[in-house]
Amino acid sequence: MIGYVTLGTDDLTKSAPFYDELFAVIGANRFMEEDDFIAWAPSPEAPGVCLIKPHDGQPMSVGNGSMIAIAVETPAQVDAFYQKALSLGASCEGPSGFRFDNFYAAYFRSPEGHKFNAFCFAQD
């Protein structure tokens, strides 16, 4: 259902390397790029994440209560994605682990403050 998610940035040049390295962990890379816009996805047909300078020219802000959830296949992929984010300057919002039943997830904020999680459905 979701085609892509767009996040704001005040400095595309400074912010983009975080996403280049983070999304490479799950096989996603840049597939669209303009002076004020970059999009990452595993393929152009797959859902993606876009980083853009706000169209209204105002400073970007982080959505309160907003979060981007990245679906992966295994707990090991959740762990790798989360650890990569932290190594790139993200802050922990909840370490890897089972949250309930078979939902395994880790939560973090990008250096600009956007909230993410990586998750999968797995057995204990």
- What's the number of domains the chain is made of? 1
Global pTM reads: 0.91
pLDDT tens-digit readout, 27-60? 999 999 999 999 999 999 999 999 999 989 999 9
* Residue type at 80 in one-letter notation: A
Residue (of 72, 114, 69, 75) closest to 91 by Cα position: 114
Q: Which domain holds residue 26?
A: 4-54+67-121
Handedness of CA 62, 67, 71, 76 (dihedral sign): positive
The β-bridge partners of 30 are 40
- Look up the CATH number of the domain holding residue 25: 3.10.180.10
pLDDT tens-digit readout, 63-119? 888 999 999 999 999 999 999 999 999 999 999 999 988 999 999 999 999 999 999
Asked if residue 84 lies in contact with residue 22, where contact means CB atoms within 8 angstroms, the answer is yes
pLDDT exceeds cutoff 80 at 9: yes
Asked if residue 52 lies in contact with residue 6, where contact means CB atoms within 8 angstroms, the answer is yes
